[in-house]
Amino acid sequence: MKSVEELLEGYRRFRRGTYSEQAALYRELGEGQSPSFMMIACADSRADPSDIFNAAPGQLFVVRNVANLVPPYQPDGGLHGVSAALEYAVNVLKVEHVVVMGHGGCGGVAASLAGEGTPEIGEFVTPWVRLLKDARDRVVDSGSVNPQFALELEGIESSIENLMSFPFVKRAVEAGELELHGAWFAIKHGELHWRNAKTGRFEVIQP
């Protein structure tokens, strides 16, 4: 897809196909939404949660950003897009699950590993991926032979930890109303790794 016309032709195919087949569902969704899952995923064009989980419209409340990061709770009056979406999902939509999903070859993770002295990272990306600093330091100190992969997983752990810094998330989890999950998607192989909540290990989901 290279041109606007190709993009619009995609819409026309959607109207003739998917929308036509699910028109009743879309009419119902026009009245409101009640997803059970919130997905916090990377903005990367190759890792779309709706595709990966074969989800129908209305099933996933999705927030995407560089490197699928969740900042810590910071009620400072600033503009916090991820925090606002999280608050809405947990307090208004009453989602039952929040999934942080990373993926292979993440550019945001690569930017973090490159370090802040690299000029091409950018004035907005640099402070954003600084959220990975502690995780990056742990990976570097560990001497991992594959720091990119290690930080992709460690970043998910950091985001789950940051989720628990939000009082309304912590309250919902402790009340048994909300579960937090981690996932990692191998783009090349189409393979999903799911975080085992008991062991903290990422295990391959068999197709």
Consult the annotation and say whether 103 binds a ligand: yes
Residue 118: the pLDDT is 67
In one-letter notation, the amino acid at residue 95 is: V
In one-letter notation, the amino acid at residue 98 is: V
Residue 123: the pLDDT is 86
> What does the mean pLDDT of the chain come to?
95
Phi-psi bin for 68: left (phi > 0), alpha (psi -120 to 50), beta? left
Consult the annotation and say whether 51 binds a ligand: no
Consult the annotation and say whether 42 binds a ligand: yes
Q: Where are the domains of the chain?
A: 1-31, 33-204
- pLDDT tens digits, one per residue of 77-122: 999 999 999 999 999 999 999 999 999 999 999 999 998 666 667 8
Contacts within 8 Å (CB) and 24+ apart, 21-30 = 22/56, 22/57, 25/56, 25/57, 25/58, 26/57, 28/58, 29/57, 29/58
Spans in the chain with pLDDT lower than 50: none
Residue 157: the pLDDT is 97
Which class does domain 33-204 fall in? alpha beta
| pTM, full prediction | 0.94
Residue 116: the pLDDT is 66
Residue 115: the pLDDT is 81
